[in-house]
A and B are shown apart, each in its own frame.
Chain A
Amino acid sequence: MSPVILQILTLTGLILVGAGCQESPTTHHSKRKLVITGSSTVAPLMAEIGKRFEILQSGVRIDVQTGGSSRGIADARQGLADIGMTSRALTSDETDLHGTAIARDGIGVIIHTSNVVSALDDGQIADIYTGRITNWNAVGGADALIVVVNKAEGRATLELFLKYLNLINTEIQAHVIIGDNEQGIKTVAGNPNAIAYVSIGTAEYDARREAPIKLLPLGNVPATLETLRTGTFPLTRPLTLVTKAPPSGLIKTFIDFARSPDVHDLVTQHFFVPIQS
């Protein structure tokens, strides 16, 4: 047989044998490894908290995976993850799980800086999202069709936004469906007639770095990290760590660490508001 094919087959064998050998130490170590999955809003922060935790507790590995809040809930329930991440509080269907808030975030409505509209009331926002208002001139803007940007199904931001406006997702007349926060900001930055809703921290950060977007006040409260901190902003959400059983052992140590003042600098760095415990 040709030597190249032989080499390939040998390599395949080696890899499979190698995988077999590695199986035992990894399962042996599995008590010292935490798998955390879920919300893409929380994931970057959690990865940083995990790195700091690994330095403090040698021999512990924190593996952070992303994919959205629904996945965090599902993985925690199935046991695929030790801890799930959601960017909202647990709902009444999720009483089988245990949640701990580690930081606070708000959801704000963003439009392009060239848009003359400076405020929308809740009714107008609901009308825009349900397609009853389709032109900016109906809310004091220029004569241009509104491009409605909505979040994908399964995203906590979507659920909270709909709940705040008393809407259901099937009523929404969206033109663009997005996943993560930065995608929403880039969509609005590239389209002067678009409207979207994203995490306030992310939007404030990008607006400060000269992305052409502006945050609109919600219920007459300006959307800033400051109004989030004082608790006056109406649409906020706790970033929550979820476990199947009440936290104990290493899981409890980690969750306690993630809400302790030791990581407040990381929380602020990611534009969220730390929980004061």
Chain B
Amino acid sequence: MASSRMLDSDHLSAIAVWTAACLVGGFFLWLLSDIVWHGVAEISWEFLTTAPLNAGRDGGIGPILVSTALILLVCMVVALPIGLGTAILLAEFTTDESLFGRLIRRSLDVLAGVPSIIFGLFGNAFFSVTLGLGFSILSGGLTLACMVLPILIRSTEEGFRAVPTDYRLSAAALGLSRFTTLTHLLLPAAIPGLLVGFILSIGRAIAETAALIFTSGYVDRMPESLLDSGRALSIHIFDLSMNVPGGDAKAYASALVLISLLFAITTLSAWIADQWLHRRIIPV
């Protein structure tokens, strides 16, 4: 009697878990197939390399891809060192109870929940106007860097905290300096956390429209320098679907490119981290 009831509840929870998982997968497949269905016909080498014409209804997304890549590059080049540094400080050099650590962590958690339009307005006021960068890829990238830092720092910090304390004690017992311990032992072991943060950040940055419309702007010409305004792919999709009559087909195609890019970046960064992990930890 008791065992059959246990079996029932086992079955029930199994069904619940499987349904939940299938729902998530199903939604993703639905979304993906909708975009592929509507967008794949427009995709061609020409679409990826030529400039948009007639407000984006014709032509391609060449300059927009370049602008998007530059914005992401600026964002990551600025956010990664700052993020890594702060995470190391939080995880290795402050305790859970210290006032300073608590203050930083609390600020980061609040910042992580701030709507992106706020970052956009801040970026516009600070980078575009106060620092005089105007509407430029640099302003856009820096604004995105501010936006993704909280996620990047918190998940990297979790990565460091997940490394067992034994590692640090053993390293100290062997007489290794803290710096050597950090670069040769803790950093490689914390890579999964850093990677999660990196992927989440890239995902948030590449999908961002609100923070960019006031900073990197709307110009769909090929950028000549980081101080030129450049339209990001997500803004292009938003404009085509919300503001340009007859822009839907190209919007779907651009969305397909965006999702493929995201997929490629995720896969590539997982692969690189895997390589690094093997090189660092196993042979030492």
Are B227's CB and A65's CB within 8 A? Answer: no
Query: Does the CB pair A271–B81 fall under 8 Å?
Result: no
B213 touches A67 (CB 8 A): yes
Q: B244 near A9 (CB under 8 angstroms)?
A: no
Q: A63-B229, A64-B218, A80-B129 are in contact. Are A182 and B77 (CB under 8 A)?
A: no
Interface extent on A, as a size class? 35 or more
Check if A44 sits within 8 Å of B55, measured CB to CB. yes
CB <8 Å contact, A26 and B227: yes
B211 to chain A, nearest CB (A): 13
Do A40 and B77 touch (CB < 8 A)?
A: no
When distances are taken between beta carbons in the complex, the residues of chain B under 8 Å from A80 are 128-129, 134
Of A2, A19, A35, A180, which is within 8 A of B242 by CB? Answer: A180
Q: Which of A2, A8, A44, A63 contacts B243 (CB 8 A)?
A: A44
A-chain residues with CB within 8 Å of residue B128 when the two chains form the complex: 80
Nearest to B141 among chain A residues (CB) is A15
Say yes or no: is A43 at the interface (Cβ < 8 Å to chain B): yes
Residue B91, interface by CB 8 Å: no
**Is A48 engaged at the interface, CB distance under 8 Å to the other chain?**
yes
Chain B residues in 8 Å Cβ range of A2: 183, 187
Task: Tell whether, in the assembled complex, residue B77 and residue A11 are in contact, meaning their CB atoms are under 8 Å apart.
Answer: yes
Cα A89 to Cα B55 with chains together (Å): 24
Highest count of chain A CB atoms <10 Å: which of B84, B183, B227: B227
B134 and A35 contacting across the interface, CB-CB below 8 Å: yes
With A35-B134, A63-B219, A67-B214 in contact, do A182 and B245 touch (Cβ < 8 Å)? yes
Asked if A19 and B81 make an inter-chain contact with CB atoms under 8 angstroms apart, the answer reads no
B241 to A, closest residue via Cβ? A182
Query: Knowing A18-B226, A65-B218 touch, does A48 contact B183 (C-beta < 8 A)?
Result: no
Instruction: Say whether B227 contacts A44, CB under 8 Å.
Output: no
Q: Which chain B positions have C-beta within 8 A of A26?
A: 225, 227-228
A228: shortest Cβ distance to chain B, in Å? 16
Report whether B77 and A19 are in contact in the complex, using a CB–CB cutoff of 8 Å.
no
User: Counting CB contacts under 8 A, is A206 at the interface?
Assistant: yes
Q: Are A64 and B227 in contact (CB under 8 A)?
A: no
Determine how close the nearest CB of chain B comes to the CB of A145; give it in whole angstroms. 26
Q: Chain A: which residue is nearest B230 at the CB level?
A: A63
Q: Does B220 contact A (CB under 8 A)?
A: yes
When distances are taken between beta carbons in the complex, the residues of chain A under 8 Å from B246 are 205-206, 209
Nearest residue (CB) in A for B238 is A180
Contact mask for chain B residues 63-87; partner A; CB cutoff 8 A; 1 contact, 0 none: 0000000000110011011001000
Residues of B within 8 A of A19 (CB): 138, 226-227
- For B216, give the chain A residue with the smallest CB separation: A65
Chain B proximity of A76: nearest CB distance (Å): 14
Q: Is the CB of B219 within 8 A of A65?
A: yes
Interface residues of B in 83-127 (CB under 8 A from A): 84
- Judge whether A182 and B81 touch: CB under 8 Å: no
CA distance A205 to B229 in the complex (A): 30
- Known contacts A2-B183, A80-B129, A181-B243; A9 and B74 CB within 8 A of each other: no
Q: Is A70 an interface residue (CB 8 A)?
A: no
Query: How long is the Cα–Cα vector from A64 to B55 in the complex, in angstroms?
Result: 11
Query: Which residue of B is nearest A179, CB measured?
Result: B242
Measured in the bound complex, the distance between the Cα atoms of B62 and A78 in whole Å is 33
Cα-based distance from A270 to B247 in the complex (angstroms): 12
Cβ B55 vs Cβ A48 within 8 A: yes
A48 engages B81 (CB within 8 Å)? no
Residues of B within 8 A of A66 (CB): 213, 218, 239, 243
CB under 8 Å from chain B, chain A span 214-264: none
Query: A64 contacts which chain B residues (CB < 8 A)?
Result: 218-219
Complex: how many Å from CA A10 to CA B225?
19
Q: Judge if B54 is at the interface, Cβ distance under 8 Å.
A: yes
Chain A residues within 8 Å of B138, by CB: 19
Q: Once bound together, how far apart are the Cα atoms of A35 and B136, in whole Å?
A: 12
Q: Is A118 an interface residue (CB 8 A)?
A: no
Query: How close is B57's CB to chain A, nearest CB, in angstroms?
Result: 9
B217 part of interface (Cβ distance < 8 Å): yes
Q: Which of A26-60 contact B (CB under 8 A)?
A: 26, 35, 40, 43-45, 47-48
Asked if B160 lies at the interface with its beta carbon under 8 angstroms from chain A, I say: no
How many Å lie between the Cα of A19 and that of B141 in the bound state?
Answer: 13
Please name 5 further chain A to chain B contacts, defined as beta carbons within 8 Å, in addition to the given A19-B227, A64-B219, sorted by A numbering. A9-B81, A43-B243, A44-B244, A63-B217, A185-B245
Interface residues of B (CB under 8 A from A): 54-56, 73-74, 77-78, 80-81, 84, 128-129, 134-135, 138, 183, 187, 213-214, 217-221, 225-229, 239, 241-247, 276
Task: Name A residues whose Cβ lies closer than 8 Å to a Cβ of B.
Answer: 1-2, 4-5, 8-9, 11-12, 15, 18-19, 22-23, 25-26, 35, 40, 43-45, 47-48, 61, 63-67, 78, 80, 179-183, 185-186, 201-202, 205-206, 209, 269-271
